[in-house]
Amino acid sequence: MENVLQDLIASSGFFHLTVGNVGMWIIAFVLMYLAIKKGYEPLLLLPIAFGILVVNLPLTYLMQPEEGLIWKFYNYGIKWEIIPPLIFLGLGAMTDFGPVIANPKTLLLGGGAQVGVYVTFFVALLFGFDMKEAASIGIIGGADGPTSIYLTSKLAPHLLGPIAVAAYSYMALVPVIQPPIMKLLTTKDERRIVMRKLRVVSKTEKIVFPVVTGMLIMLIVPASAALMAMFMLGNLFKESGVVERLSKAAQNEIMNTVTIFLGLSVGATMTAEIFLKKEVIFLFILGLFAFSIATASGVLLAKLMNLFIKEKINPLIGAAGVSAVPMAARVVHKVGAEENRQNYLLMHAMGPNVAGVIGTLIAASVMLTFLK
């Protein structure tokens, strides 16, 4: 009887608990708190937090190769490139390219914000990360969770969990991180600049844009095809007006389902052995640096553009060049309205905001082309 009791204890998870396991539970509970109580990116942070929790329960074998339930989600969903493109299908179906079409200059601002990606890439190399790891860390500056996950799963899968948490955490903290940078780099008069109302974009333009733009980008950067094709297909569903069922499915049922599997799979990669390292601390610091530089470069590019164009733009909208859609645009509008109640910058900021999604995707594809 004594042997049976000893075997029962030895076979339980309690017998195999480590300090690292408990540490990861704390991290999981903190993320749950931020998602539930504070509302920080709850759609992703909540399943990520639960994934962290259950994978750090000893002997559950949820990430056991070939056998574990969540391993199958991760392997067939993320490593086989199924989930990230489906996320982009949903994003495309929810995206309005109207502000970009109405004011094409905002495409430059979406590209300018990617400076943070490349600067951080070189800084990460100085911190001792290899080129693939540095690229995965740098892409955090684009503030695009699905793209960060896609690139990291290709180049540095061992960093997938920390990078995903960093990317979504900084996206959630946009209202905290961006305003001080925006105010530091602009004058009161610049923040008060009122921009003319955008022209009305025709349905034909909105239908042609995803087709032509998608073709051009995929011809220039073929590595972007998996995400870009699905992104533009989702947008074509939305703008065509003839496949409402498909558009709604992409926005709702498909998007919600793959979001569950994505978050759970990413969280389950964060075992104590991987996460509780000093390199991960550097990763979070560099991620914040990337996001800050991206915000600053967008604002500074807008100021530079004002030196050469007749109709001035409010440089605050450059901060929306990061692809945290639509939160970055809302923050820009809020900061602008604080200076001038007549200032309605939301739709103007959506231009660089949406352009930032494309810019980050291109930046990730270029890195993938040269480093894979």
Q: pLDDT truncated to tens, each residue of the chain (372 aa)? A: 556 666 666 667 777 788 999 999 999 999 999 999 988 889 989 999 999 999 999 989 999 999 999 999 999 999 888 999 999 999 999 999 999 999 998 888 988 888 999 999 999 999 999 999 999 999 998 878 889 999 999 999 999 999 998 888 888 888 889 999 999 999 999 999 999 889 999 999 999 999 999 999 999 999 999 999 999 999 999 999 999 999 999 999 999 999 999 999 999 999 888 888 888 889 999 999 999 999 999 999 999 999 999 889 999 999 999 888 888 999 999 999 998 888 889 999 999 999 999 999 999 999 999 997
Same domain, 109 and 56: no
The answer to whether residues 333 and 216 belong to one domain is: yes
Residue 250 in any domain: the answer is yes
pLDDT of residue 144: 84
Domain range for 3 is 1-60
* pLDDT recorded at residue 168: 87
Please give the tally of structural domains in the chain.
2
pLDDT the model gives residue 326: 82
Is residue 68, in this structure, part of any structural domain at all? no
Residue 327 lies in a domain: yes
pLDDT (0 to 100) of residue 72? 95
Same domain, 226 and 325: yes
* Pair 55, 95 in one domain: no
- Whether 241 and 329 map to the same domain: the answer is yes
Note the pLDDT of residue 24: 94
Check whether residue 54 and residue 90 sit in a common domain.
no
Distance in angstroms (rounded) separating the CA atoms of residues 145 and 163: 9
Domain boundary residue among 10, 27, 60? 60
Supply the pLDDT for residue 325: 83
Quote the pLDDT of residue 3.
65
Within this chain, do residues 191 and 314 fall inside the same structural domain, yes or no?
yes
Domain contains 303: yes
10 & 98 share domain:
no
Q: What is the pLDDT of residue 97?
A: 95
C-alpha 133/C-alpha 283 separation (Å) is: 10
- Answer yes or no: is 71 within a domain: no
User: Considering the domain boundaries, does residue 70 fall inside one?
Assistant: no
Question: Is the pTM higher than 0.85?
Answer: yes
Asked if residue 216 and residue 260 are part of one domain, the reply reads yes
**Which of 31, 60, 89 is the endpoint of a domain?**
60
Is the same domain home to 132 and 278? yes
45 and 179 in a common domain: no
Distance CA 179, CA 365 (A): 29
CA distances from 92 to 113, 228, 229, 348, 357 (A): 20, 9, 10, 19, 10
Q: Is residue 104 part of a domain?
A: yes
275 and 333 fall within a common domain:
yes
The reply to whether 75 falls in a domain is no
